[in-house]
Amino acid sequence: MTEKLWVTSLTVCLILLLSAWHLSQGSADIDWLAVTELQRTIIWDIRLPRWLLAVVNGIALGLSGAALQLLLRNPLAEPGLIGVSSMSALFTVTVLYFGWAAASSWFLPLLALVGGLSGLLLVVLMAGRTYDIHRVILAGVAVSSLAAAAMGLILYLAPNPFAFQEWSLWTLGSLANRSWPQLYLVLPVVVVGIALLAFWRQLLTALTLSENTVASMGFKLVSQRNGILLAVATMVSGSVVSVGIIGFIGLLAPHTVRLLGVQHPQKVLWYSAPAGALLLLAMDILTRLISGPRELPIGIVSALVGAPLLIALLFRQQHARKLTG
Amino acid sequence: MSLKLTDVSLSGIARDRLHEINLALTKPGLVGVIGANGAGKSSLLKVIAGLEKVAHGEVVVGGKRLSDLNSKQRAALLSYLPQNEQAQWDITVTELLAIGLLQHSLGKQQRAQRLQKWLNYCDLTGLAERRLSTLSGGERQRAFLARALISEPQLLLCDEPTAALDIQHQLQTLKLLKEQSRAGRLVVCSLHDLSLAARYCDRLILIEEGKLLATGAPASVLTDTNLARAFSVSAEWFCHSSGVAWIPQPLSEGD
C-alpha cells in the first residue's frame, strides 16, 4: 500500500470513528433512528456546531503548528511561540472587561483579529529586515510575555471578581457553550489563512535546505517569511476568538504525521490539518469523559496530555542527536 | 558564460572581508578559489551568488549586472552550494532534487525527465528513494550537488564541495565538476587541497586577507612566493603523468 493511500485511509477511518463518538456525547440520550424535534434541536444547535468547531479549529491549529515548525526549522515550534494567540487573547479580554462587546457583534472578533495581527506586526518589526529565525523566536517570546503581563495587570486592577473567570475562559480555551455564530467567525478567517499558506507554501519545502541556498534559488526570504507568518496569525487569531487559546494541538499535529513516517514538508504541512482535527476531537471527547458536572476547559486537558508528550519528544530528539553524533 | 568583478569590496568588522577584487572569467571551465582559512573564499562565492551586498564595485554575470537582476532572474543564471549543506528534514534523494526545481515552471513530464536525467548523471538512480539519513557522506554530497545542478545553471558556485569527504569521493566530486565545466558551464569552487586544485582546475584564484593575490593557470599561481605569502609555507612539488603533488613545509625563520 502506498504511503498516501495508507495515511488517507487511516485518517478517514479515524475521523469517521471519532466524529460518531463526538456527536453521540452529551447529557441527552439521542435515539438516532427516531429523532424527536427536541433531539433535532440538540443535534443541530449544540452537537453539530461543537463538532464543526473542533474540526475547523483543529485544522487551523494543525496547519499553523506545521507551518511554524517548517518555517522556523524547529520541530518544537507551535502557534503560541510567535505571540499572536496571547495578543489576540489580550484584546479579547480587554474588550470583554470594558464591556465593549455589546457595541456590535463584530466588535469582539474584529478586535481579536486586530490583536493577533498587531502581535505579528510587533514580531516582524522586532525581527527586522534580516532573515534570522532566532530573532523571530525571541521576538515572539517577548510579545507573548508582554501580552501575558498586560493581561495580568488588567486582572490585578479589576474591580470585578468575575474578571478572572473571563480571563480563564480565553486563555484555557473551551468548546462548551459555542454554536453557529462562533463557527461563522472562525470559518472565513481560517479559509483566508489556508489560501495565504497555499500561496507561499513552496518556501516551506525549500527551507529543508540552508537559508543561503534558499535565497540563491530565487526565494525572497524576508517577504515570504512574513507572508507565512501572516497566514499563521490569521488562522490563530480566528481560532482564539472562537474557542480561546488551545495549546499543544499545533505542536502535536505535525509530530503525529511524522510518527507515521511522513517527512516531506508539503505532506507534513497538509496532513497536519486532519491530524489537528483528529487531535482536537479526541481532546474534546476526553475532556467530556473526565469532566464532572462542570466541564473542564479543553486547554487544561490538552496541556495535561500534551506536556508529557512534549517531554517525550525532547528526550527522543536528544536520543536521535546522540545516535547521529 | 562570463563573470566579471570590478573593484568589489565587502565590509567586515575589523577589515574589509573582500578588498577591491578585480577579476574576469570569460570562458567556461573549472575555477578553484584557494587561500588560507578566513582569507575570504566563502565571501567571494557569496558575493558572486548575490547573497552578500557589496560595499563597493559591481559583479557582472553573463553580461548582466547582478544588482540589476531580481532574485528569480539571478537564480536562472546561477546555482550555489554552500559548505556543509544539511537537510533539516529527512527527505528522499528524489525529493531533494525536486527542491532544485521549485522555482522553475516545468510541466509534469518535463520535471520527471529532468529529475531522471540528473539522477542518472550523478549516479543516484539506485538511491532515488533512499532517505538522506541512510546515505554515506559522499553519496549525500553527490545528492546535494545534483540539487544544485538540476536547474542547469550557466554558473555553478560550490563552497568547499570536497570538505569532509574521503579521497575517493573527493576525486568523484571533482571529476563531476570537471565534466560540468566541459559541458559549457563556468564552475567556481573553493578548495583546500592544492594538489587536487592543481590537477583538476583550469584556473585558480588565490586570495589573501580579502585581496586577490594571483589568478591564472595553476602553475602560475602556485609559485613559492605566492604560497609563502598566502599560507606561510614552502613547497616541494612532484610531477607525475596523472597530476602533481606537493609536500608543504612551514617557513623556517629567515625565509
Strand partners, B5: B23, B59
Q: How far is B82 from chain A, CA to nearest CA, in Å?
A: 7
B25, B227, B228 from B214: Cα distances, Å: 14, 10, 13
DSSP code of residue B67: G
Is the CB of B75 inside 8 Å of chain A's CB atoms? yes
- Cβ burial of A40 (10 Å; 0-12, 13-18, 19+) is exposed
CATH number at residue A114: 1.10.3470.10
pLDDT of residue A103: 73
pLDDT of residue A318: 67
Task: Say if residues B28 and B185 touch (Cβ distance below 8 Å).
Answer: yes
Helix count (H) and strand count (E) of chain A? 14, 0
ipTM: 0.90
Instruction: Please list, in sequence order, all residues whose beta carbon lies within 8 angstroms of the beta carbon of residue A27, skipping any fewer than 6 positions away.
Output: none
The residue ranges of every structural domain in chain B are: 3-88+153-250
The gap from C-alpha A203 to its chain's centroid, in whole angstroms, comes to 21
For each of chain A's 325 residues, which pLDDT tens digit applies?
Answer: 576 788 788 888 998 999 989 888 877 777 777 778 888 888 888 889 999 999 999 999 999 999 999 999 888 888 888 888 889 888 888 887 777 777 776 787 788 889 989 999 999 898 877 778 888 889 999 999 999 899 888 878 777 666 667 667 777 888 887 888 888 888 998 999 999 999 999 999 999 999 999 999 999 998 999 999 999 999 998 898 888 888 889 999 999 888 888 899 999 999 999 999 999 999 999 998 888 777 888 888 988 888 888 788 777 766 665 544 4
Joined together, the cell numbers standing for residue B181 give 565545466
- pLDDT of B94-118, one tens digit each? 999 999 999 888 899 999 999 999 9
Q: What is the pLDDT of residue B65?
A: 93
pLDDT for A325 equals 42
3-state helix, strand, coil in chain B (%, to 5): 35, 30, 35
Q: Does B190 touch chain A (CB under 8 A)?
A: no
Name the grid cell of B202.
583550469
Three-class SS of residue B212?
A: strand
- Alpha carbon distance A257, A251 (integer Å): 11
- The H or E element that residue B238 is part of is strand B233-240
**Residue numbers in B near A218 (CB within 8 A):** 71-72, 74-76, 103
| Residue B199, C-alpha cell as written in the block | 590537477
Whole-number pLDDT of residue A1: 57
Cell numbers at B218, concatenated: 595553476
SS3 B84: coil
Return the pLDDT at A163. Answer: 64
> Which of chain B's residues have a Cβ under 8 Å away from the Cβ of A216?
49-51, 74-75, 78-80
Q: Which pLDDT score, from 0 to 100, does residue B105 have?
A: 85
Using a CB–CB cutoff of 8 Å, tell me whether B104 touches chain A: no
Give the residue numbers spanning the domain of A271.
Answer: 3-324
User: A293: Cβ–Cβ under 8 A, 6 or more apart, which residues?
Assistant: none
| Residues B185, A192: Cα–Cα separation, whole Å | 44
B211, burial (CB in 10 Å: exposed 0-12, middle 13-18, buried 19+)? middle
β-sheet with B211-216: strand ranges across: B78-81, B155-159, B186-190, B29-34, B203-208, B211-216
CA B20/CA B240 separation, integer angstroms: 37
B181 touches chain A (CB under 8 A): no
- Residues in chain A closer than 8 A to B158 (CB atoms): none
Residue of B135, B152, B143, B137 whose CA lies nearest to B119: B143
Q: CB of B188 within 8 A of CB of B3?
A: yes
**In Å, how far from its chain's centre is CA A318?**
26
Number of domains comprising chain A: 1
Kindly report the CA angle at A123 between A117 and A126, in degrees rounded to 5? 140
Test B86 with A210 for CB contact under 8 angstroms.
Answer: yes
Contact B99 A263 (CB under 8 A): no
For chain A, the residue count is 325
Q: pLDDT: is A97 or B173 the higher one?
A: B173
- Is residue A255 within 8 Å of A310, Cβ to Cβ? no
Distance CA A152, CA A245 (A): 16
Q: What separation, in Å, do the N-terminal and C-terminal C-alpha atoms of chain B show?
A: 41
What fold does the segment set B3-88+153-250 form as a domain? Rossmann fold (3.40.50)
8 Å CB contact of B89 and A217: no
B213, B205, B244: which is closest to B229 by C-alpha?
A: B213
Q: What are phi and psi of B243, to 5 degrees?
A: 155, -165
- Residue B149 sits at the vertex; the CA angle it makes with B145 and B153, to the nearest 5 degrees, is 140
Written as one letter, the residue type at B228 is: A
Helix (H) or strand (E) holding B187: strand B186-190
Q: Which of B74, B78, B81, B89 has the most A C-beta neighbours within 10 Å, making it the best mutation to test the interface with A? A: B89
Residue B70, CB-side half-sphere exposure with 13 Å CA sphere: 4
Strand-pair category, B211-216 with B233-240: unpaired
SS3 of A251, please?
helix
Tell me which DSSP letter residue A104 carries. -
Tell me the Ramachandran region of residue B254: left when phi exceeds 0, alpha when psi lies from -120 to 50, beta otherwise: left
Contacts of B80 in chain A (CB under 8 A): 212-213, 216
CB contact at 8 A, B80 and B51: yes
How would you classify the pairing of strands B203-208 and B29-34? parallel
